[in-house]
Structure 1
Amino acid sequence: MSGQLKDIATELAEVLWREHTVYRDRAGGVVIRGEHVQRWISLAPSAGRDEVLLRAGRILEGGTTAPARSEAVAGLSAGTGELAAVCRLLLAETAAGPTAAGPAPRRSRSSKRRPRPARRGRHTSPASWLVVVGVVAVLGLYMARATGRV
């Protein structure tokens, strides 16, 4: 598995960055370093047979690596193009994170929400006003019937 990871990492590194370094880490995974973008990606065997754990992080001043800021599990059968897309997503999340040293809190895919746009002008839409008018009309008819006027 580690030989296969090294080959996949080498192909992936050529797709991601022109300048890169690929090496094995202590845990048996493979790391791709992009010094010019101050980022790294690691590939490690996952619990699944055909899966790999991808992690992304920053390279700090002096060349040391910060802890992973984002991670994902991907299938090796997906191909280099799809693995590169997952890696780019992780790198984007890493770049968007806070600059302070230390790991960012992990979030699952389901907990990510899009930010709501700022409200401008009216707070109540015309459709909401139609609902309010309809409810008032129904209540008015009910009250008129209850008092015997209709």
Structure 2
Amino acid sequence: MSVQLRETAQALAQTLWREHTVYRERSGGVVIRGEHVKRWISLAPAGGRDEILVRAGRILDGGTTAPARAEAVVSLSTETVQLAATCRRLLAEAASGPTSAASRPAAPHQATNSAARKRRSAGARGFGYWVIVACVVGIAALSIYGASVPS
């Protein structure tokens, strides 16, 4: 089945994306990565003899893969065109939802770190403000002193 799965993945990859990478997972499945679209598809044996589990997800910045966001069980004997249509639907589902770190809810420890970063940056802005005020006051004082000293 793994040979048939790899052949199916190769044909599917060429149908979906011009640029792709196909590789075998440790679990016996096959992954198709589309770096240019930041998406991946996984084909793995499912419970049935002629069934495969098709999963789709996103590729995060730095190249790591996010967990699958959509999945479906499909017959391995399905034509490549029909399998590609299923994959496109799953890829569309995987694309929906938050896509950036700013729009995703933060984990509890990340929220704490984020709040600390905001406090630090607010403190840095406050310090910079006072430096500017001190410089302006110093220049004004020097101007007044220079105007009051007889030459």
* SS of alignment partner, residue 33 of structure 1: strand
Counterpart residue number, 2:75: 75
Task: Give 1:84's aligned residue.
Answer: 84
Structure 1: gaps (5+ residues): 103-150
Runs (4+) off by over 2 Å: 97-102
Residue equivalent to 2:65 = 65
Alignment check: 8 A CA contact 1:66 1:101 kept: no
CA drift at 1:101: 8.1
Following the alignment from structure 1 to structure 2, what is the Cα–Cα distance between the partners of residues 54 and 9? 10
> For residues 124-144 of structure 1, what are the alpha-carbon distances to aligned partners after superposition, in whole Å with 9 as ceiling and x for unaligned?
xxxxxxxxxxxxxxxxxxxxx
1:30 CA displacement: 0.1
- CA-to-aligned-CA distance 1:17-75 (integer Å, 9 cap, x gap): 00000000111100000000000000000001111000000001111100000000001
List per-residue Cα deviations over 1:86-133 (Å, max 9, x = no partner).
00000000111222389xxxxxxxxxxxxxxxxxxxxxxxxxxxxxxx
The answer to whether residue 40 in structure 2 is matched with residue 35 in structure 1 is: no
Percent identity at matched positions? 71
Match of 1:128 in 2: none
Q: Which residue of 2 aligns with 1:50?
A: 50
1:101-140 equivalences under 5 Å are: none
Mapped contact 1:13–1:32 kept (Cα < 8 A):
yes
1:46 partner amino acid: A
Q: Number of matched residues?
A: 102
For 2:29 and 2:78, locate their aligned partners in 1 and report how far apart those are by CA, in whole Å: 19
Amino acid at match of 1:63: G
- 1:6-45 to 2 correspondences below 5 Å: 6-45=6-45
RMSD over equivalenced CA pairs, Å? 1.4
Q: Distance in 1 between matches of 2:88 and 2:19?
A: 16
TM-score with structure 1 length normalisation? 0.66
| TM-score normalised by structure 2 residue count | 0.65
Q: Is the 8 A contact 1:57 1:69 kept in 2?
A: yes
SS at match of 1:77: coil
